[in-house]
Amino acid sequence: MSSVIDDALINRTAPPGSLRYFSLLYAPEARREAVLALYVIESEIRESAKSASHDVAHTRLTWWRAETDRLINGNPQHPATRLLLERATFEDRAVFNKLHEMLAAADMDLARMTFSNQQEFRAYCSRSGGAIQELIASALAAPGTLDETTRATANKLGVGIRMAEVIRDLRQDAYDGNVYLPLDLLDKHELKTDHLRAREVDPKLKEVLRSVRDTARPELDLPKRGPQTEHLRPVFVLAALHRKLLDHIAARHYDVATERIDLSPLQKPWTAWRAARKA
């Protein structure tokens, strides 16, 4: 897809058939590489926080902070940030400061931070999932700027996407030491971390996951077509795919312990096409 970014990075970020792959398909051809670059950057930042060594993770995140500043100043080093600078025609590179929100979320991941309630969980998802979707919408609008309604919509859809990921990846995240579900929900149902790592999903945990799904679905509602919604087409597609994924997980009775639940090869293109038509 790009001659600048290594194929291994692309396949780790948006392999053929993945949800992000379909999001990229519906990005305008002239801006597709900019969207790809943003997804690679997001993936690299998230993976940095998951390094087996805490010191290595800290060093990698520190490097990405410096790289974000270099990007803002116009002299980045990473292939993805160089491609982004070349392909995204922002009038003001200060928009890249939004990457610092993603880095703040990665710091939370590295610190194994937990969230007391839904409000704290949503704030994390806004940084971890909303910021990247804002940047994608901004890249597609450049050299123009997004209005605040469109910017807020992109972030909101990103929040729902991240919540869906938390449900899907629950067991693996718990094994990695990350508990994202609001603690007040877990306490209410007398659930501990061991319940999240178990090979079978406890009925009480299914109730928690159902509650989080009910919170995530409105975040993923696609707005009516408006003056700037064409800048949200790849975001619309990714949001619709994750909403469909949530419905699929619910239909599988929240059995996220035995396997990583995914949409079928037929569900993905059909869902993506329908969502793209709405933008």
- pLDDT-based confidence at 150, cuts 50/70/90? very high
Instruction: Note the pLDDT of residue 164.
Output: 98
Closest CA to 220 of 278, 178, 172: 278
Range with the poorest average pLDDT among 30-34, 41-45, 224-228? 224-228
Amino acid, res. 136: I
pLDDT at 249 over 80: yes
Instruction: Note the pLDDT of residue 19.
Output: 97
Burial class (CB in 10 A: 0-12, 13-18, 19+), 2: middle
Instruction: Note the pLDDT of residue 4.
Output: 67
- pLDDT-based confidence at 7, cuts 50/70/90? confident
Q: Where are the alpha helices (DSSP H) in 31-176?
A: 32-49, 54-73, 79-87, 99-110, 118-125, 131-141, 148-168, 170-175
Encode pLDDT of 178-213 as tens digits: 999 999 999 999 999 999 999 999 999 999 999 999
The domain 7-278 having CATH identifier 1.10.600.10: the answer here is yes
Alpha carbon distances (Å) from 139 to 25, 93, 105, 266: 16, 11, 21, 29
Rounded to the nearest angstrom, the gap between the alpha carbon of residue 269 and the centroid of all alpha carbons in its chain is 19
Residue 126's H or E segment, with its range, is none
More confident residue, 140 or 5: 140
pLDDT at 59 over 80: yes
Q: Please list, in sequence order, all residues whose beta carbon lies within 8 angstroms of the beta carbon of residue 113, skipping any fewer than 6 positions away.
A: 124
Instruction: For the chain, give the mean pLDDT.
Output: 94
Q: Any idea where the domains of the chain sit in the sequence? A: 7-278
